[in-house]
Structures are given as structure tokens and as C-alpha cells.
């Protein structure tokens, strides 16, 4: 299945602001993601990354600014928008008393996937864990749970896939499976990808564009190599360390 050509906006955020009692967590963030793009939202602790992500998903409402996902303005259109969004994070639990195939079948039904069997088989194969189909969720390692969580989020072929730290604490083999599976998902389904991560090496391998936040503002937006050059650094890890040192000032 081929997704829509690039140039079609799946997410648009304009001048987002979020204030808390003693601080402004996000001070005017604008961000757009087009179909097929693989974008990383990056920033050190305190940069505003998590608050921005929650606003983009409609989990919290901005004090100023607007978010449009798949043509639906949040928060009023959140239910319709989320029908075309997949979300996964390593910290989200799975139902331990179900087998992996049953877990995926349960979520496929929630997503309204008709005839979920082929979608489940394709997902397990795409992320190279078909041998775990009949394993109990309670028996899975943390890395295997991460893979199942990502498959769960892709069963309905979302137009926007949002992943929070998808390779955190994973061994190299599992992280490699995540990267390969995400590449296939974006290429074959046309899904746009928005990912947060502290692993800059994985970001450089997965994403074709990075957006850095610092002090609640966008300070860089472009291809990884171009962003590194913008800050006079050799790679994204050095950019991250440079901005993290400024975040503590």
C-alpha cells in the first residue's frame, strides 16, 4: 500500500504556548509534518519536548496556538484525528494475561481493523518477531514488549505514527529491528513518523529531519547533517550536549 505523496500536511502546530504556575514550558512552538516524513522532536530535559508532544496528541490543551492533525483541529476534532494516529511508548503496559496475538487482536478491534489476522501477521513479520505470536505477554522481555507496542500502533496503518523513546534501553539487536520495521512502515504504508528520543545515533538512522527545542522554543529544524553544521558540531549528539548545557544555565 502506498501512502499519499509528500506535500500533504498530516500535522500542523502554530505558535503553541503552555504555561504552568511558575514557568512557561512551551513559549511559541510551530511545527509541521508532511506525509511520509520521518521527524524527530528533540531536546534536553526541561526543553519543552514532552509538553509539546502532549499538546500535539491533544492530551493537554495549549494556552495559546493551535494544533491540526489530519485536517481536524484539536481539541474539538481530537476523536476523529486520533483515528488516523498510532502512538507507542516503551512505558505503556500490555495485558499480561493474553498471548501476543490476542493482545494485537484486541487492539485491532479497537482500531476498527476488519479481518485483523493478516495485519497482525504482517506486523509480526515486519518487526521480525513472528515466533512470539503465541507467547504470553507476561513472558516478554522489555525489548519484546516495545516491539509488540509498536506493532499495536501500526495495525490500522496510521497516517501519523508517534513514538516516544522507541529504542530507549534496548539492546542493539532489538533497536535494529525497530529501525528496520519503522523504515518499512513509512515506505510501505506511507505513514509519517514523529519520534522523540535521547539516542542521537538512532535518530540519525531513522529520521530525515530533526527539530530541536530549547527553553520552550524551536532552535533548529532540518536534516540531521545540516542541523549539526548550524551549531558547528560534528553530529547530533554534540548538538544535544551543547543545547543541554545551555538548558541548565
Confidence band of 92 (pLDDT split at 50, 70, 90):
confident
Domains of the chain, first to last: 9-247 (3.40.50.300)
Sort residue 48 into left (φ over 0), alpha (ψ -120 to 50) or beta: left
pLDDT at residue 169 in the model = 78
Q: Where are the beta strands (DSSP E) in 55-157?
A: 64-69, 72-73, 85-89
CB neighbourhood size of 180 (10 A): 15
The answer to whether residue 4 scores a pLDDT higher than 70 is no
Instruction: Report the half-sphere exposure of 46 (CA within 13 A, side-chain side).
Output: 9
Q: Is the pLDDT of residue 247 over 60?
A: yes
Q: Above pLDDT 70, what percent of the chain?
A: 96
Q: Looking at the predicted structure, is the pLDDT value of residue 3 above 90?
A: no
How confident is the model at residue 111, as a pLDDT?
92
Contacts of 46 (CB under 8 A, 6+ apart): 247
pLDDT at 8: 56
Q: What is the pLDDT of residue 248?
A: 60
Across the chain, mean pLDDT equals: 92
Q: What is the pLDDT of residues 126-171, one digit of tens each?
A: 999 999 999 999 999 999 999 999 999 999 999 999 999 888 878 8
Q: Which of 41-50, 82-91, 167-176 has the lowest mean pLDDT?
A: 167-176
Q: What is the mean pLDDT of residues 57-78?
A: 96
pLDDT of residue 249: 54
pLDDT of 6: 44
- On whether the pTM is more than 0.95, the answer is no
Q: What does the pLDDT average to over 163-189?
A: 89
Per-residue pLDDT, averaged over 111-133, amounts to 95
How confident is the model at residue 7, as a pLDDT?
45
Bridge partner residues of 85 (DSSP): 160
pLDDT (0 to 100) of residue 218: 97
Query: For residue range 207-227, what is the model confidence (pLDDT) as tens digits?
Result: 999 999 999 999 999 999 999
Amino acid at each position: 500500500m502506498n501512502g499519499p505523496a509528500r506535500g500533504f500536511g498530516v500535522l500542523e502546530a502554530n505558535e503553541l504556548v503552555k504555561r504552568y504556575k511558575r514557568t512557561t514550558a512551551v513559549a511559541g512552538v510551530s511545527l509541521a509534518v508532511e506525509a511520509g516524513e520521518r521527524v524527530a522532536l528533540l531536546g534536553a530535559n526541561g526543553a519543552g519536548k514532552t509538553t509539546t508532544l502532549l499538546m500535539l496528541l491533544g492530551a493537554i490543551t495549549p494556552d495559546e496556538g493551535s494544533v491540526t492533525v489530519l485536517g481536524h483541529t484539536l481539541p474539538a476534532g481530537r476523536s476523529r484525528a486520533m483515528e488516523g494516529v498510532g502512538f507507542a511508548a516503551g512505558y505503556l503496559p500490555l495485558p499480561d494475561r493474553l498471548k501476543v496475538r490476542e493482545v494485537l487482536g484486541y487492539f485491532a478491534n479497537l482500531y476498527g481493523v476488519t479481518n485483523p489476522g493478516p495485519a497482525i501477521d504482517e506486523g509480526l513479520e515486519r518487526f521480525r518477531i513472528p515466533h512470539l505470536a503465541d507467547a504470553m505477554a507476561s513472558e516478554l522481555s522489555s525489548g519484546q514488549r516495545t516491539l509488540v507496542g509498536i506493532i499495536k500502533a501500526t495495525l490500522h496503518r496510521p497516517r501519523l505514527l508517534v513514538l516516544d523513546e522507541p529504542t530507549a534501553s534496548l539492546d542493539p539487536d532489538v533497536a535494529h529491528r525497530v529501525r528496520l520495521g519503522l523504515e518499512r512502515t513509512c515506505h510501505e504504508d506511507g505513514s509519517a513518523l514523529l519520534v522523540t528520543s535521547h539516542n542521537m545515533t538512532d535518530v540519525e538512522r531513522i529520521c530525515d529531519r530533526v527539530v530541536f527545542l530549547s527553553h520552550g522554543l524551536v532552535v533548529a529544524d532540518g536534516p540531521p547533517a545540516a542541523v549539526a553544521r548550524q551549531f558547528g558540531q560534528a553530529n547530533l549528539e554534540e548538538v544535544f550536549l551543547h543545547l543541554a548545557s545551555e538548558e541548565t544555565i
